[in-house]
Amino acid sequence: MANDRVDFDLRRGEVHALLGENGAGKSTLMSVLYGLYRPDEGELRLGGEPVTIDSPRRAIELGIGMVHQHFMLVPVMTVAENIVLATEPRKGLLLDMDAAGRRVRELSDRFGLRVDPDARVADISVSQQQRVEILRALDRGADVLILDEPTAVLTAQEAAELFRILRTLTAEGKSIVFISHKLGEVLQIADRVSVLRRGRKVETVAAEGATEESLARMMVGRDVLFRVAKEASEPGPPLLEVHGLEVVDDRGLPAVRGVDLQVRVGEIVGIAGVDDNGQGELVETLTGLRRPQTGTITVDGRDVTGADVRGKLDAGIGHIAEDRHRRGLVLDFSLAENLCLRDYRHAPIARHGLISPRRMNERAAPLLDEYDVRGGSCDSLALSLSGGNQQKVVIAREISEDPKVLVAAQPTRGLDVGAIEFVHRRLIEQRDAGRGVLLVSLELEEIRSLSDRVLVIYDGRIVAELAPEASEEEFGVAMLGGRREAA
């Protein structure tokens, strides 16, 4: 049951946020409104009149437009062509592209959505593509816009720009359903918030007066700790030591330039930095997916500089990969198969080249239990799980390998608050169990709340070591490379 007796209403000129964890049923609910799924029971009314929406076409006729998370644009066509697609103005047998351009310009002026009608969609940025999607819905006469996780693909500035556009739209009398699992932005943009949990609506509240804590409680069903409590660390001897590491990226350009770092027993070392400053290459090198040009990597005194993935793993480096869909999981494998991705060749999983499903499940089942993986059993495919549960599978596997050092790259990316808390708690547990943790994240807040020491990476170099208590300004300066010039 993806939606269980959900009531939802949308007023003219409001932004109504639909908030919920992964798999809470937000997208299903909106798919019903857009005619992609039909409800088993219940009723839809538009302007007080009962309506049946059996197809997206019908939804469009009724003035409901949807902007999907994955844009439905034709990349090789221009902005104007995409917007008028299927309703093209004609001049005889030919398309009247001038009229199309005019139509697009009028729309974009009226709602303050700046786009270049003649640009090819393939050449414009993601946020502009999103505007094209919104314009297309408006062009079709949409009064109700459904935005499915619109900020997931945007930077902070682009999101702010989107919010400005949404306010213009509501001022024009349009109504907006804003699907999200990010608390902060929901409070920022929405007039009212409906929270879904496991297919049921928990409550609809006014955004005014609500707090992140109160919304999180509704979403997860209990109090959520945004900062996981932890004891002060008592670091022991060094576990992971990196000296003078230089790595090139896929194009052969230097990506990591002479990094020295150390992770000791019982500490979490954070690597803070703006995206694409060598973090990816650093992590890949530490975990054996990429070879360094120069430098040394030792684990517990043992040199593993040139070791491949298996060598690094055997030396005790665990890896929570940044992208669980691309790296961390084989989505078409069962959970049990995924849980043995790192040691499928060894006893007890495999003997004499043959894998025993029984022994595979015997190991997987307790892990799924221990890590509270919901929504699937040993035989379920990984792709059937929500993001948070998929990440639990990855973490369960990496920790069960009993690593000395755990390299956690963006371990909470795309997760909702409940899952984030779970991951954070696990990382601190690992630290307290005497392992070393190297946490690489783009979320400064995450780095600061978890790390015992923070290294700031900029342009492939460690430019500063800061205490997690250092001010946001100090971090900001260092993350933009300021500290190096100052020093």
Partner 1 sequence: MSEGEPQGTLTVASRLAGYLRGGGIVTPLLTALIAFFIGGLVVALTGSNPFTTYKAIFEGSGLNWLFPWISSEDRMLAALNLQQTLILTTPLILTGMAVAYAFRAGLFNIGGQGQYFAGLYIGVWVGSSLAGLPGFLHIALALVLGTLAGAVWGGIAGFLKASTGANEVISTIMLNYVALWVGVWAFGLGGPLHSDSPSERSVPISDPVVDDAKLPVFWGDPELQGLHVGFFIALAALGVFWVLLNRSVAGYEARAVGFNPDAAEYGGINAGRTYTKVMLSCGAFAGLAGAIDVLGWQFAVATNDIQNAGVVGAGFIGIAVALLGRNTTSGVLFSALLFGALINGTSVRNLDPTIFQPELATNLTLIIQGLIVLIVSAPVIVTTLYRLRPRRARAEEERA
Residues that bind partner 1 (CB under 8 A): 1-3, 22-23, 25, 27-28, 31-32, 36-40, 54-55, 69-70, 72, 149, 152, 181, 198-199, 289, 308-310, 313, 319, 321, 325-333, 337, 341-342, 344-345, 350, 353-357, 375, 383-387, 389-390, 414
Instruction: Please compute Rg for the chain using Cα positions.
Output: 25
Residue whose CB is less far from partner 1, 42 or 366: 42
Minimum CB distance to partner 1, residue 334 (Å): 11
Task: Specify the 3-state DSSP secondary structure of 154.
Answer: coil
Q: DSSP label at 25? A: S
d(CA 86, CA 84): 6
Shorter beta-carbon distance to partner 1: residue 191 or 314: 314
Whether residue 175 contacts residue 16, with contact meaning beta carbons closer than 8 Å, is answered with yes
Q: How far apart are CA 366 and CA 356, in angstroms?
A: 17
Instruction: Yes or no: say if 43 and 50 are a contact pair by the CB < 8 Å rule.
Output: yes
Angle at 200 between CA 195 and CA 201, to 5 degrees: 35
Distance CA 267, CA 168 (A): 49
Report in angstroms how near the CB of residue 340 gets to partner 1 at its nearest.
8
Q: 104, 96 in Cβ contact below 8 A? A: no
Q: How far is the CB of 95 from partner 1 (least distance, A)?
A: 22
Q: In this complex, which beta carbon is closest to partner 1, that of residue 58 or of residue 257? A: 58
Taking the complex as a whole, the smallest distance from the CB of residue 206 to partner 1 amounts, in Å, to 25
CB of 390 to partner 1, least distance (A): 7
Q: What's the CA gap between 301 and 303, in Å, rounded?
A: 6
Per the DSSP assignment, residues forming a β-bridge with 254 are: 248
Beta-carbon neighbour count of residue 211 at 10 Å?
10
Q: Which is closer to partner 1, CB of 342 or CB of 453?
A: 342
Q: Which amino acid is at 83?
A: I
- Report the nearest approach of partner 1 to the CB of residue 436 (Å): 20
- For partner 1, the closer CB: 71 or 163: 71
As measured in angstroms, the least distance from the Cβ of 455 to partner 1 is 24
Residue 181 or 404 having the CB closest to partner 1: 181
Nearer to partner 1, 23 or 101 (CB): 23
Judged by beta carbon, residue 3 or residue 108, the one nearer partner 1 is 3
**Token pair of 6, please?**
């959900």
Give the residue among 440, 391, 439 at the shortest CA–CA distance from 415: 391
Count of all residues that appear for the chain in the document? 487
Q: Helix, strand, or coil here: 241?
A: strand
In sequence order, the 6+-apart residues with CB closer than 8 A to the CB of 480 are 274, 458
Q: How far is the CB of 475 from partner 1 (least distance, A)?
A: 27
